[in-house]
Amino acid sequence: MRILILGGDGYLGWPTAMSFAAQGHDVCVVDNYLRRNIARETSSEALFDNPNLVDRAALFEATHGKRIRVEIADCNDYRSLERIVRDTGPEAVVHYAEQPSAPYSMRGFDEARRTLDNNLGATFNTVWALLQHAPECHLIKLGTMGEYGTPNIDIEEGWLDVEHNGRRQKFLYPRQAGSLYHTTKVLDTDLLWFYVRTHGLRVTDLMQGPVYGIDTAETRGDQRLMPNFHYDDIFGTVVNRFLVQAVAGIPLTVYGKGGQTRGYLNLKDTLQCVALAAAHPVKRGELRILNQFTEQFTVNQLAARVQAAGARIGIDVAVKNIENPRKEAEDHYYNAKHQALLDLGLEPHLMTEEVLVEMMQHVIRHKAAIDPRKVLPRVRWNG
Ligand code: USQ
């Protein structure tokens, strides 16, 4: 398959590109290094350096014998994106080209504006480039479980049957996101649903939970092929952060009461899910929404797991409940369906103690590079 990956330099984009290329697909990645630039601007650099996209692709070709085409371009520049879509004629586009940090989006006006413009602009341009140059292409878009928020009823996979005054209709499941970043994903979904209904676009929107992990089948332990691993408060997701904190001897930063429940998944399962979506495209005029996670935990449960994994290798891990910088429910009902990807064949890699220990051992090799100033939250939701 000819696959175009937008945001191909990211934590998910680069491993996805390697995975598809290793399976023999014809892969082109597009990125403008927005995340690398924001990381520099906010002193939120990853734990270890990652070669730039051109060098990563050259290294991957040298080690795996497969070519990944690289385009350094901004998906918000329609003419560039249009040219790339025309040149590559993709059968699937995987769209990760968004500013992915909730804290960054809540930092102030400039960051909020940049998040809104970048995320909506990239989605809008992608839709138009496909409508004009590859109308049969299947768009696989990365959404987020955070679109749903934490409602007091079960979370369905994208849609809800509503009965009102004796009549019924299926609607997009109600969404109420907890950050501007998450809200841009809600708006993306609405935009996509509009173009699916009116122009017959083919879309799979993946509602993904927080991801953890550092290694995939294609990295083969070669750090230069590993994804950017963040532990800072801006780009680091909670599990990755907790593992670094454990290694650095910093008490795990549980925000507030720690009863916040989310659906988590291993990076290896992100790759599986995207591959399954690509292998099972939807029809024209269909928006498929899949909830992409494998296990639900509270933050307190995650902290306890990291503590247990630390104990296994002789690290005494402390936990500290600190004031929550975010505005979110800390003690709530959460029951999200996640059956559709299992039905397509997903075989989950669960968060076992071995998995956490292995990640911690990798982090230990970089212990000297951990900068404690990046760990505590620097952004508050209410300014
Ligand atoms: N949390 C802590 N302590 C920390 C960091 C986080 O208690 O040190 C809590 C947060 O308050 C939140 C939960 O852990 O309740 C998850 O936080 P996170 O930073 O791992 O995840 P989030 O900000 O929601 O964003 C991440 C990715 C984002 C993706 C999202 C999926 O950065 O791109 O969309 O996970 S989801 O959370 O399902 O919306």
Taking only the tens place, the pLDDT of each residue in 146-196 is 999 999 999 999 999 999 999 999 999 999 999 999 999 999 999 999 999
Provide the 10 A C-beta neighbour count for residue 227.
24
Q: Is 296 in the pocket of ligand 1 (CB under 6 A)?
A: no
Which atom in ligand 1 lies closest to the alpha carbon of residue 324?
A: 11
pLDDT number for residue 334: 98
Taking only the tens place, the pLDDT of each residue in 290-340 is 999 999 999 999 999 999 999 999 999 999 999 999 999 999 999 999 999
| Active-site residue identified among 42, 144, 183, 294 | 144
277: three-class secondary structure by DSSP:
helix
Q: Is 238 in the pocket of ligand 1 (CB under 6 A)?
A: yes
pLDDT number for residue 220: 82
What are the b/e assignments for 54-72, b being 16+ CB within 10 Å?
Answer: eebbeebeeeeebebbbbe
| Active-site residue identified among 123, 173, 183, 185 | 185
Q: Is 19 in the pocket of ligand 1 (CB under 6 A)?
A: no
Query: In the annotation, is 185 catalytic?
Result: yes
Q: Is 262 in the pocket of ligand 1 (CB under 6 A)?
A: yes
Q: Give the pairing of strands 159-164 and 167-172.
A: antiparallel
pLDDT number for residue 68: 98
pLDDT number for residue 382: 87
pLDDT number for residue 379: 98
For the chain (383 residues), the mean pLDDT of every run of 10, in chain order, is 98 98 98 98 97 98 97 98 98 98 98 98 98 98 98 98 98 98 98 98 98 95 93 98 98 98 98 98 98 98 98 98 98 98 98 98 97 98 85
Q: For a pocket test of ligand 1, which of 44, 115, 144, 332 has the largest count of ligand atoms closer than 8 A to its C-beta? A: 144
